[in-house]
């Protein structure tokens, strides 16, 4: 929050529920006491305004104008000069009895305006408008056949061989199968001469490759160091063996 105080930012936090919001109040008060930090956070509890919507809106936005002005002052941004009222061409709309609301305002010496009469909006009420009553869906009338309407007569299928259909093909006897022919006996197995077995040759043992590492100053046994593999060029993390001290060398397999 301190780092973000130089940005054009305001943070408003509303605590909802019955929890202990003491730490949130401490954060708000802490930033207020920092002389080098612009106040950008404002915290309030919803339960203190849960019965008055107007008071909740007023408490939520009460620090916002001052925070905006503080930012512009800190950045050296001055407001634009006041425009001449003659430059505006404002044409009021005609009075609409159905859409417009008759209001009577009272202006005090402090340039504050209060509503004396008129208006129908209740700024302190949280209640929602009444729900729309349930409208049952009209039942769908069943469909019945009109009396006296004759249904289509039943059309039986035409018998086989009647006009317009092809007569069935005459019976064709199945040809008798060919007589059984025994299979020819297999050829005698010709034994192949034995092939002398090749003696077992053990694979040549690959000797591990090694390189030596010298322990740098300030490193003791059990500590990890980072070295470069001489073959692949990649970095490796090694642990200094037990008993090896600064200046000594040890072998590393790779």
pLDDT tens digit sequence for 11-23: 999 999 998 898 8
Instruction: Tokens for 33, please give them.
Output: 């006491």
DSSP string, 138-191: PPPPPP-PPTTPPPPPP-PPPPTT-TTSPPPPPP-PPPPPPPP-PPPPPPPPPP
Separation of CA 225 from chain center? 41
pLDDT (0 to 100) of residue 159: 53
**How far apart (Å, rounded) are the C-alpha atoms in residues 156 and 49?**
84
pLDDT band at 196 (very low <50, low <70, confident <90, very high): low
pLDDT (0 to 100) of residue 162: 46
pLDDT (0 to 100) of residue 14: 93
pLDDT (0 to 100) of residue 148: 57
pLDDT (0 to 100) of residue 157: 58
Q: What is the pLDDT of residues 133-177, one digit of tens each?
A: 777 777 766 655 555 555 555 665 555 444 555 666 667 767 677
In whole angstroms, how far apart are CA 54 and each of 46, 51, 68, 121, 208? 12, 9, 22, 11, 82
**How far apart (Å, rounded) are the C-alpha atoms in residues 250 and 213?**
6
pLDDT of residue 193 exceeding 90: no
**How far apart (Å, rounded) are the C-alpha atoms in residues 59 and 28?**
14
Burial of 70 (0-12, 13-18, 19+ CB in 10 A): middle
Highest mean pLDDT among 49-58, 146-155, 220-229, 233-242: 49-58
pLDDT of residue 180 exceeding 90: no
In whole angstroms, how far apart are CA 237 and each of 13, 28, 229, 230, 241? 48, 48, 10, 14, 13
pLDDT band at 77 (very low <50, low <70, confident <90, very high): very high
pLDDT (0 to 100) of residue 127: 61
Rounded (10°) CA dihedral 79, 80, 83, 88: -100
Beta-sheet strands, E only, within the chain: 11-15, 41-45, 103-107, 113-118, 210-214, 224-228, 235-239, 249-253
- 24: DSSP letter: H
Q: Answer yes or no: are the C-beta atoms of 49 and 59 closer than 8 Å.
A: yes
Q: What is the pLDDT of residues 86-119, one digit of tens each?
A: 766 777 788 887 777 777 777 776 667 776 666 6
**How far apart (Å, rounded) are the C-alpha atoms in residues 224 and 167?**
97
Average pLDDT of the chain, as a whole number: 76
Q: Answer yes or no: are the C-beta atoms of 99 and 87 closer than 8 Å.
A: no
Mean pLDDT, rounded, for 111-136: 65
HSE-CB for 172 with a 13 A CA cutoff: 3
- 65: DSSP letter: H
Q: Answer yes or no: are the C-beta atoms of 235 and 241 closer than 8 Å.
A: no
In whole angstroms, how far apart are CA 47 and each of 72, 104, 115, 183, 236? 33, 33, 27, 101, 60
């Amino acid at each position: 929050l301190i780092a973000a105080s130089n940005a054009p930012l305001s943070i408003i936090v509303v605590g909802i529920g019955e929890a202990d919001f003491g730490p949130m109040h401490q954060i708000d008060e802490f930033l207020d006491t920092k002389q080098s930090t612009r106040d950008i956070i404002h915290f309030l509890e919803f339960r203190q305004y849960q019965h008055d919507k107007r008071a909740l809106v007023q408490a939520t936005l009460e620090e916002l104008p001052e925070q905006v002005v503080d930012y512009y002052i800190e950045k050296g941004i001055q407001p634009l000069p006041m425009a001449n009222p003659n430059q505006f061409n404002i044409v009021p709309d005609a009075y609409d009895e159905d859409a417009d609301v008759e209001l009577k305002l009272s202006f005090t010496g402090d340039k504050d305006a209060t509503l004396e009469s008129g208006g129908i909006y209740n700024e302190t009420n949280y209640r929602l408008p009444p729900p729309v009553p349930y409208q049952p869906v009209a039942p769908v009338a069943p469909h019945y056949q009109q009396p006296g309407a004759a249904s289509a007569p039943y059309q039986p299928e035409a018998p086989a061989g009647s006009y317009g259909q092809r007569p069935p093909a005459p019976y064709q006897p199945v040809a008798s199968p060919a007589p059984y022919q025994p299979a020819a006996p297999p050829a005698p197995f010709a034994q192949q001469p034995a092939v002398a077995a090749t003696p077992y040759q053990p694979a040549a043992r690959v000797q591990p490759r090694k390189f030596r590492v010298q322990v740098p100053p300030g490193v003791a046994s059990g500590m990890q160091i980072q070295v470069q593999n001489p073959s692949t060029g990649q970095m490796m993390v090694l642990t200094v063996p037990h008993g090896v001290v600064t200046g000594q060398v040890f072998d590393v397999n790779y």
